């Protein structure tokens, strides 16, 4: 018989932690190049480029990498699933491109390898402390240390793949789902915002010029709407006119439609 004092049984569900956006940081290629330049040997350089350019999980996916996983002529590397992803059967092995910068470092490392060596990184295992080594290299490079060192190197590589390739292809190369990529890996960098301004501003400015010519709207905001009651009221707001002029000169002033300030929602 149910206990009248506790009529309901509440089940607590622990949610998986959503990507920690505050600690996600894109590592620009120029920064990673400075770090790479201070790496003491081919082993360190290879690990760095595999993490930053190949989006490998370091050290888990590096420790299982074998020389026969590298198809030099085909420019491919087979990456065996790490312990984090091995439960996904279809992702037991994924293929990443052998980019020129990765190939260069791996070739140098191969020249140093012992004859008959099978593992690319024989001294890397689950207990290898790569963080301390990376911290020292970053300090020598004179760049600011980013949080989550190896994770953000991988995330930056994943972001670069997503910029260039369709999202499902980028996710497959990196060995995760698109949803995981959105939550944990993809980031927006300053260069993305600069590129958005460079790409979008001319088109917006051209459209505004066309709209202004056809509807009598001037770039100085002194057109037919100058004496509209709402315009007069808006102009009473401190800094309104100067802010609008600044946006117009930058080609970023958009005519607000019937939907108001809330952007329209599009169905996929």
pLDDT in tens, 194-223: 665 565 556 555 545 555 555 443 443 334
pLDDT band at 169 (very low <50, low <70, confident <90, very high): confident
CA separation for the pair 174, 53 (Å, rounded): 11
Question: Strand 76-80 vs strand 93-97: parallel, antiparallel, or unpaired?
Answer: antiparallel
CATH number of 21-187: 1.10.443.10
pLDDT of 191: 63
CA atoms of 106 and 111, how far apart (whole Å)? 9
At 205 the pLDDT is: 55
Report the mean per-residue pLDDT for the chain.
72
- Whether the ω angle into residue 268 lies within 30 degrees of 0, i.e. cis, is no
pLDDT attached to residue 190: 63
Q: In what order do the strands lie in the sheet with 76-80?
A: 70-71, 76-80, 93-97
Give the C-alpha distances (Å, rounded to integers) separating 76 from 8, 62, 68, 69, 191. Answer: 57, 15, 11, 8, 29
The answer to whether 98 and 76 are in contact (CB under 8 A) is: yes
Asked if pLDDT for residue 11 goes beyond 60, the answer is no
pLDDT band at 127 (very low <50, low <70, confident <90, very high): confident
Candidates 23, 32, 21; CA nearest to 144 is: 32
For the chain, count helices (H), then strands (E): 10, 3
2 versus 52: the higher-pLDDT residue is: 52
Instruction: Give the CA radius of gyration of the chain.
Output: 26
Please state the rounded mean pLDDT for residues 113-124.
Answer: 95
Length of the chain: 268
pTM above 0.85, yes or no: no
Quick check: helix, strand or coil at residue 95?
Answer: strand
Q: What residues pair up with 78 in beta bridges, in sequence order?
A: 95
Of 212 and 57, more confident: 57
Q: Where in the chain is the domain with CATH 1.10.443.10?
A: 21-187
* Two tokens, residue 71: 């198809």
């Amino acid at each position: 018989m149910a206990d009248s004092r506790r009529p309901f049984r509440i089940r607590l569900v622990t949610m998986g932690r959503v990507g920690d956006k505050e600690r996600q940081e894109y590592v620009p290629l120029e920064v990673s190049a400075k770090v790479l330049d201070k790496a003491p040997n081919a082993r360190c350089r290879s690990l760095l480029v595999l993490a930053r350019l190949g989006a490998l999980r370091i050290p888990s996916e590096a420790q299982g990498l074998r020389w026969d996983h590298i198809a030099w002529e085909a420019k491919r590397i087979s990456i065996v699933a790490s312990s984090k992803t091995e439960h996904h059967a279809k992702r037991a092995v994924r293929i990443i491109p052998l980019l020129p910068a990765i190939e260069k470092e791996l070739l140098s490392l191969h020249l140093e390898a012992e004859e008959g060596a099978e593992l690319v990184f024989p001294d890397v295992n689950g207990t290898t402390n790569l963080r301390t080594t990376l911290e020292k290299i970053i300090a020598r490079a004179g760049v600011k240390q980013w949080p989550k060192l190896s994770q953000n190197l991988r995330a930056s590589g994943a972001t670069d793949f997503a910029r260039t390739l369709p999202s499902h292809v980028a996710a497959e190369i990196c060995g995760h789902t698109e949803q995981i990529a959105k939550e944990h890996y993809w980031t927006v960098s300053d260069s993305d915002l600069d590129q958005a301004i460079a790409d979008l501003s001319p088109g917006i400015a051209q459209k505004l010029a066309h709209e202004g010519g056809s509807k009598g709207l001037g770039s100085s905001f002194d057109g037919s709407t100058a004496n509209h009651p709402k315009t007069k009221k808006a102009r009473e707001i401190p800094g309104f006119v100067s802010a609008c002029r600044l946006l117009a000169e930058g080609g970023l002033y958009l005519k607000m439609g019937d939907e108001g300030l809330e952007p329209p929602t599009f169905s996929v």
